[in-house]
Each structure stands twice: as C-alpha cells, then as structure tokens.
Structure 1
C-alpha cells in the first residue's frame, strides 16, 4: 500500500466521474421494460460502477503499491486500475457483441484475447528486471489489442451491417470510440511509469488515464444507451415500410 501524491486529485475526479455515470445510467434504465434493452442498461451501468470502486481504492491508497524497479527508485503501481480493466473491458466487448449480434464462440475468443491484453500490461508494470522485460510485456499486450482491432473492424462490423443499416451506423460509432481511445492507452503506458521511462509525470499519466477511462466507459455508455430506440426499431421493424427504409 502506498499513499498517492499530487495525482490524488485526478483519482478523485475519476471516482466522481464514474459515480455520476453509474447514477445516470441507473436512472435511465429504470423506465425500460424491454428485456434486450434491460441487458444493455445492466451491463453498461455495471461498467462505471466497477471503475468507481477502483478509483476509490486508488485515491485512498488501497489500490496502489510501491515497488522497486531496476534503474529507478520505488515506483507506485496502481494495480486496481488493472483489476478494473480486467472486469470492465470484457463487458464493453459484450456490449459491442450484443449490438453486432455475433456468435457466442466469437465473443469467448475475444474475451480471451482481451484478458491477455490486460494481463500483459499488468505483468509489464509488475516486472522488476528493467525496461527491456517491461517493454516485452507491453508488446504482448499491444499485439493482443491489434488482434482485437482486427476482429472489431472485420467480423463484428460485418455482422452489425447485416442486421440493419441503422445498427451498422450505431456499431461503427461505438467501435470507433472504443478503438480510438483504447489505442491511446499503450502510448500513455509506455511514456509513463508503466514502461519505466517516466517521460511524463505521474500526475499527467493519471490525468490521461482518467480522461480515457471516462470516455471509454461513461462516454461509450451514453452513446449506446441513447441509441436504444434506433437499435430496437432497426432490429424489430414494425412494418414492411420499416424494412424498406433500412
């Protein structure tokens, strides 16, 4: 356990942002009676709730440990961040899979790849042998992300377009938010304390993670839940005219 320094302010910002997102999604979901919509609301509400708990742990020092790293003094490792990602990124993928209508076998495959991506980053952060080993694990994590990118741009996108034009548009928007923001995480990691280079300060690193986390969880969720009427109409057309209009 370690005590956060100046970066604590941003950790509290992350906690408040995730808490507000959780409350907002929970309130929005109260009026939903459609089972499929309720699934979206439940998953999307759980995501920032988990993140809020992780940020609370990090802000209070419970989610961070100090470790000696070769060539550097003790480095604070925010392990709760990886616990958050290990739980929330699979849920984000499930949300995308539900929109696209992909098969369960494909979902399971991507979840395994996602876990490898997160654990690779965690392993890199925890390695004490020096920069080379840490970067090697970063490369493993980044390679897993590229594989995810391949499937989300390929199979997932094709299936979403096949469901309906409207579904394809919504999926593309959600996919671009996810991939665009996820692509920035490895850059923050390699420039910050994770890669051992320390080219940006820990406060800047935490600030960037907070902004990315809020975008990928609360921003993603807001777009998804505000698109429920479009998805429901597209997947359950009420007339031949609706089918033709798609």
Structure 2
C-alpha cells in the first residue's frame, strides 16, 4: 500500500475526473462538427472522435481502478488483484497513438500512394514505441526501466523523422495557412509526447515508487493525454475547416 496525503489523493482523483470529462466533451464536439467540413475530411474527425472516446473509456476504468484500490488515503499499487491498474493507459495508447498519426494524414488528403506509405511506417513505429515502454513502466528494476525507456525512444525518433522530413515534403501543396498550422500541430505533438518520458523518468527507481512519484506520474500522464488528444483533435478540426473553406465550402455554421 502507498499512503498519500489527503491533498495528494484528492489531486489524483480530480485529475482523473478532469481527464475523463475532457475526453467525453471533445468526443461530442468533434462528432457534432462533422457538417462543418467537406465529406472528404470527415474521416479525420471520425478518427479524432474515436481517439477521445477510447481514451474516455479508459479514463473511466482508471478512475474506478483508483477508487477501488484505495483504502482511505492508501492506494494498493502492488500489482496484485485489486491494485491500481496502470495497464489501462498502455492499452489506451496502443490503440490511440496510431490513430492520432493517421488523423494527420487523413486531414491533409494526400495522394493515395503517399498516404499509404506514411501510414505503413508510422503505425508500426507507434505500436512499437508503446509496447517497448510497458515493460519498463511495470518494472521495479532501474536498469530494466532505463533499457526499455531507451528502446521505446528509438521508434519515437523515427516517427519524428517521418513527420518532419517525409510529411514536410507534402505541405507545399496545401492551402495557405494549412502548412503553418500543420507545423504547429507537429510541435504540439513533440511538446505533449515529451511529457510522457518526463513522467516515465519521475517514476523510475529501485523498488516501489514513492507517493510523490506516483502522483507526479499520474498527473503528468493525464495532462499529456488531454493535450495530445483533445487539443490535437481540435487542431485537426481547425485544419479540416481551413481546407474546406479554401475549397469553396461556405461558412454557414
């Protein structure tokens, strides 16, 4: 059992609640915004809604897991039955991170061959990044944590290469303002994804994590999720709107 102060327990409880409602609100907003973009860009919004819906479901499970594993201010984190389940996050990321990358490609409406090439490289790399991070997350051995932290960084660097070098070649053909917005989108991706390794490092160390480490990791991961999924999804909507307007859609909504 890991004993938290009342403030720490309430902070984690409230940040999970914030993550849950953010995902649900963003899901509804992107779904009802379908009519505001041309049909060719609606797949990107559907994927954005899927990302936040999947994340909302997992935040509901995380929220319940935290409540059920708590006895007063103490949280069971041993990994046994009834303990707080960190695996929900990794199942969520394994599903949502590839979709986040496909969103970017879908909203740009690139040539079919270019889109397929980018997806075939980005999706496996993103899945490898998440899968390689999990063994380090659940380990209490610092050497194992470092090893898998480094291994999961390699596909992350490859993803950045594809996004900035390969995808960058296609931006010159985008409408005015779209290339700049996509540039900001990629920077948002780096900034938010950069929070994950910081939170991962906060949880590193021999033996069971301390209360401060546990709180830091959970708060860091949740804030990063909201930025990487909700803010990212709203930016995808903005790009879809910009492209729709550039292609003659009237702003009636």
Place the TM-score, normalised by the shorter chain, in its bin.
0.7 to 0.9
Structure 1: which 5+ runs fail to align? Answer: 69-74, 239-246
Match of 1:152 in 2: 163
Question: SS in structure 2 opposite 1:25?
Answer: helix
1:170 aligned onto 2:181: yes
Task: Note if contact 1:54-1:84 (Cα within 8 Å) is conserved in structure 2.
Answer: yes
| Structure 1 range deviating more: 5-14 or 113-122 | 5-14
Q: What does residue range 87-126 of structure 1 map to in structure 2 within 5 Å?
A: 87-100=95-108, 101=110, 102-126=114-138
Match of 1:243 in 2: none
Q: Select which of 223, 237, 242 maps to 1:225.
A: 237
Q: For residues 144 and 77 of structure 1, do their structure 2 counterparts lie closer, same or farther at Cα, with a shift above 3 Å needed?
A: farther
| Deviation of the 1:143 alpha carbon | 1.5
Task: Note if contact 1:135-1:195 (Cα within 8 Å) is conserved in structure 2.
Answer: no
Task: Note if contact 1:48-1:218 (Cα within 8 Å) is conserved in structure 2.
Answer: yes
Task: Note if contact 1:181-1:216 (Cα within 8 Å) is conserved in structure 2.
Answer: yes
> Aligned equivalents of 2:31 and 2:77: distance in 1?
36
> Aligned equivalents of 1:228 and 1:193: distance in 2?
40
> Aligned equivalents of 1:112 and 1:25: distance in 2?
26
| Deviation of the 1:44 alpha carbon | 0.9
> Aligned equivalents of 1:195 and 1:82: distance in 2?
21
| Structure 1 range deviating more: 4-13 or 35-44 | 4-13
Question: SS in structure 1 opposite 2:150?
Answer: helix
> Aligned equivalents of 2:59 and 2:230: distance in 1?
14
| Deviation of the 1:83 alpha carbon | 0.8
Structure 2: which 5+ runs fail to align? Answer: 70-75
Match of 1:20 in 2: 25
> Aligned equivalents of 1:152 and 1:142: distance in 2?
15
Question: SS in structure 1 opposite 2:177?
Answer: helix
> Aligned equivalents of 1:176 and 1:193: distance in 2?
26
Task: Note if contact 1:190-1:196 (Cα within 8 Å) is conserved in structure 2.
Answer: no
> Aligned equivalents of 1:153 and 1:24: distance in 2?
29
| Deviation of the 1:103 alpha carbon | 2.9
| Deviation of the 1:138 alpha carbon | 0.8
TM-score by structure 1 length? 0.81
| Greater RCO, 1 or 2 (C-alpha within 8 Å, sep 6+) | 2
CA RMSD of aligned residues (A): 3.0
